[in-house]
A and B are shown apart, each in its own frame.
Chain A
Amino acid sequence: METSTAALSFDNIGMVFPDGTRALHDVSFGVSKGEFVTIVGPSGCGKSTLLKIASGLLTQTSGEVSVDRGRIGYVFQDATLLDWRTVSGNVELFAELDGVPKQERRKLAQEAIMLVGLSGFESHYPKSLSGGMKMRASLARTLTLKPPLFLFDEPFGAVDEITREHLNDETQQLFQREGFAGLFITHSIGEAVFMSTRVLVMSARPGRIVAEFDVPFDYPRNPDLRFDPDFAKLSGEISLALRGGHS
């Protein structure tokens, strides 16, 4: 590890798939405890690949990752709930797979469900939940791990704008409360600026970091921050950098 506080650090990461596709090129950055870093980039630029490498689902072809893989929280693009389990059954899944005793995992699940505002829906099956509620359940499932490092792979891409803003707000509050290190992937600039301490801009394939922005706003962030001139200015700069990365 480069620094003692880095929860995750990438060092010259390169990824070439077996079919010859160059997904990532020379990516280096770190995420420390108390940081919420967001990567924005065009679709297909290798953002998700980066998270898969961090979690160990994929192995990079060059460079080094340093991370404690023991308790990574990984929230996928889809809620990936198991249809045959109720909300609480789904939220308990990770603890169950990790061999946590029944009593304890029930307690963990209850806490997490409360934290994401799904109390009262414990015995509902996924088929009766809306897209936003499924995502909340998925978040709760990850929260049971109490992970020091949270990876988010465009988790709110499939929900409507209003729900997304709610979920952004809640994620931001969770980040503040739990103090984890967060790495969030999205192609929504507004989402990135609203939640993050730092925004990285990635270029089209092969993905590289082409710009980096510190987000100066204090937490807790008010939803109205989205209408702040400084917010708009920063979003504009990021948008510009994103377009530059395209060419």
Chain B
Amino acid sequence: MTTQVTGDEVDESMPPVHDDAPVQAYRVKSRKREAAETILPPLVLGVILIGCWYFVSYVVLDESRRFLLRPPHQVLKVGFLDWDNFSEILDGLWSSAKVALTGLTISIIVGFFLATIMSQAKVLERAIFPYMVMLQAIPILAIVPLIGFWWGFGQRSRIAVCVIISLFPIIVNTLFGLQSAARGQHDLFTLHHASRLTRLRKLMYPNALPAIFAGLRISAGLSVIGAIVGDFFFGQGDPGIGQLLRTYASRIQGEELLAAVIMSSALGVAVFLFFGWLQNVAIGKWHDSGGLGT
């Protein structure tokens, strides 16, 4: 589509619109070069870091203490390439992912609901907000016994941990987004006697989307952490990667331990990227600070 306006495209009676053609990004750099510039720096740093890792494994640690940090190829061989070990890690990861996803879903539903009603009446915001801050401030460790009493020491308690730590960013960001529509935009709706619901649907929710996605990305990462932390306290049933980490640590299985750590981090990154992608698909067309790497 052309973005140039010429005089004859416009209504005859109007003077030519030469003052304000939309700004077009200059494509000076080739795509290839741009990609290289994006990928190369972290790649180089990665190589350096692996070099350091080898240095610590072989030079800093003598052989008797090498179990503290196994060298990279050892981790790769035992942790990733040995299918028995790796499938165990993947199984753990999968059940942690399920817990995280369930917790996140509950947080999203509860968070949206609370943020919506808080946005509708200042009195509700004032009433609810302090308790949300309290919930956020509770150290998980402090309520582990309570959660255990109420929901047992299995799956349900792990989900509860996820909800507790991922709820707050969703509420805060959604509420902020709902309240951030400009005064003038609200005035437009007021002048046309828009109902509460119309205002919410056509102004406040769409306006809140960028903030909602920012909250989702934070909470998604937190829910993964919650699932792993939950494993440490509530290990019954079908525990996930957190329980595996404990087991490997207690058996001094350094390779598997490091592989499990890397995979849990990969899960967090995957979730983060997924929500970045979702954000780009949902609002990238009209909102600028889209997903990662754009």
Contacts and interface: CB of A to CB of B under 8 A. Distances in A.
A, B from the same assembly: yes
Interface of A: 55-57, 72, 74, 76-78, 80, 82-85, 93-94, 96-98, 114-117, 119-120, 124-133, 160, 162-163, 166, 169-170, 173
Given A80-B182, A127-B287, A163 B190 contact: no
Interface stretch (B17-25, B42-50, B222-230, B263-271): B17-25
B188 interface: yes
Contact of A97 (B182, B194, B206, B209): B194
20 contacts: A57-B191, A78-B184, A80-B184, A80-B187, A82-B206, A97-B193, A117-B14, A119-B10, A120-B9, A124-B22, A125-B285, A127-B288, A128-B22, A128-B23, A129-B22, A130-B22, A131-B20, A160-B19, A163-B19, A163-B20
B113 to A, nearest CB: 22
B192 A133 contact: no
Interface of chain B: mostly helix, strand, loop or mixed = loop
A80 B286 contact: no
Contacts of A125: 285-286
A84 B283 contact: yes
A131 B194 CA distance: 27
Given A82-B203, A84-B283, A94-B192, A132 B185 contact: no
A85 B188 CA distance: 15
A159 to B, nearest CB: 8
Given A82-B203, A132-B20, A163-B20, A170 B182 contact: no
Interface in B184-209: 184-185, 187-194, 198, 202-203, 206-207, 209
A181 B3 CA distance: 35
Given A84-B287, A97-B202, A115-B11, 8 more contacts: A56-B191, A80-B182, A82-B202, A82-B207, A84-B286, A116-B14, A128-B22, A162-B19
A124 B23 CA distance: 12
A117 B10 contact: yes
Interface string B9-40: 11101110101111100000000000000000
Contacts of A116: 14
Given A125-B285, A125-B286, A126-B286, A80 B20 contact: no
Interface of B: 2-3, 5, 9-11, 13-15, 17, 19-23, 182, 184-185, 187-194, 198, 202-203, 206-207, 209, 283, 285-288
Contacts, number: 93
A83 B187 CA distance: 16
A133 B287 contact: no
A166 B287 CA distance: 29
Contact of A83 (B21, B22, B191, B287): B287
A179 to B, nearest CB: 15
Closest 6 CB pairs of A and B: A130-B20, A132-B20, A97-B192, A80-B184, A117-B14, A125-B286
Contacts of A117: 10-11, 14, 17
A130 B3 CA distance: 12
Nearest to B193: A97
Contacts of A129: 20, 22
Contacts of B21: 130
B191 A74 contact: yes
A80 B19 contact: no
Nearest to B10: A117
Contact of A76 (B13, B187, B193): B187
A85 B191 CA distance: 19
Given A80-B185, A84-B206, A170 B22 contact: no
A160 to B, nearest CB: 8
B187 A57 contact: yes
B22 to A, nearest CB: 5
